[in-house]
């Protein structure tokens, strides 16, 4: 680990600690996270045709992701409660690979980033899809990662 890098959620004694953001600058912050759900072709077709018996999967998953983003500080112990100014969940179907991609974009104007809120939104959206489709495909797999973050001291960062 680089000398100037340290784990910020530990105090001098090595104990878990919520980071002090008092002196940080306010800025417009945006984070995008993506969840990908690999599924059977038949499952993806049912999803596209809105033929899953539990209902409109994507609408429910969208609302679940938005609601989850607002609960991040209640779920992740050292996250700061944030005033989210925008929460957007978008879906993209990759028919060639039988994958549903979920992009969660979260924005705020504040002193700390919204990466965890975006990851939480993408996670809960994908788990909602899994829950609503598991009757026809229990073998779905979910992967989740951060796509980008903007704002704050470290500036704009784009991941794979």
One DSSP character per residue, 64-121 reads HHHHHHTTHHHHSTTPPP--EEEEEEEEEEETTTTEEEEEEEEEEEESS--HHHHHHH
> Cα–Cα distance between 70 and 47 in angstroms, integer?
26
- Which two tokens mark 106? 């979260």
- Which two tokens mark 21? 């953001």
Among 115, 105, 102, CA closest to 142: 102
Which of 4, 20, 56, 131 is an active site residue? 131
- Domain 27-158: CATH superfamily is Molybdopterin cofactor biosynthesis C (MoaC) domain (3.30.70.640)
Which of 6-10, 41-45, 121-125 bottoms out in mean pLDDT, i.e. has the lowest? 6-10
Residue 19, pLDDT > 90, answer no
Mean pLDDT of the 89-104 span:
98
- The answer, as to whether pTM is greater than 0.85, is yes
Mean pLDDT of the 95-103 span:
98
| 131 labelled catalytic | yes
Residue 20 — very low, low, confident or very high, per pLDDT cuts 50/70/90? confident
Residue 13 — very low, low, confident or very high, per pLDDT cuts 50/70/90? confident
Backbone angles phi, psi at 125, to 5 degrees: -60, -45
Residue 120, pLDDT > 80, answer yes
């Amino acid at each position: 680990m680089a000398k100037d890098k340290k784990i910020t959620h530990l105090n001098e004694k090595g104990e878990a600690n919520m980071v002090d953001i008092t002196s940080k600058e306010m800025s417009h912050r945006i984070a995008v996270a993506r969840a990908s759900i690999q599924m059977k072709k038949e499952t993806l077709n049912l999803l596209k045709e809105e033929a899953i018996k539990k209902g409109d999967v994507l609408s429910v998953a969208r609302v679940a992701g938005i609601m989850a983003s607002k609960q991040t500080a209640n779920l992740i112990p050292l996250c700061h409660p944030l005033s989210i100014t925008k929460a957007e969940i978008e879906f993209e179907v990759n028919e060639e690979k039988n994958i549903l991609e979920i992009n969660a974009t979260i924005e705020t104007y504040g002193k700390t980033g919204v990466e965890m809120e975006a990851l939480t939104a993408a996670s809960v959206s994908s788990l909602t899809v899994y829950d609503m489709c598991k009757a026809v495909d229990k073998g779905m797999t979910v992967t989740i990662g951060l796509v980008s973050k903007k704002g704050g001291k470290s500036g704009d960062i784009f991941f794979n």
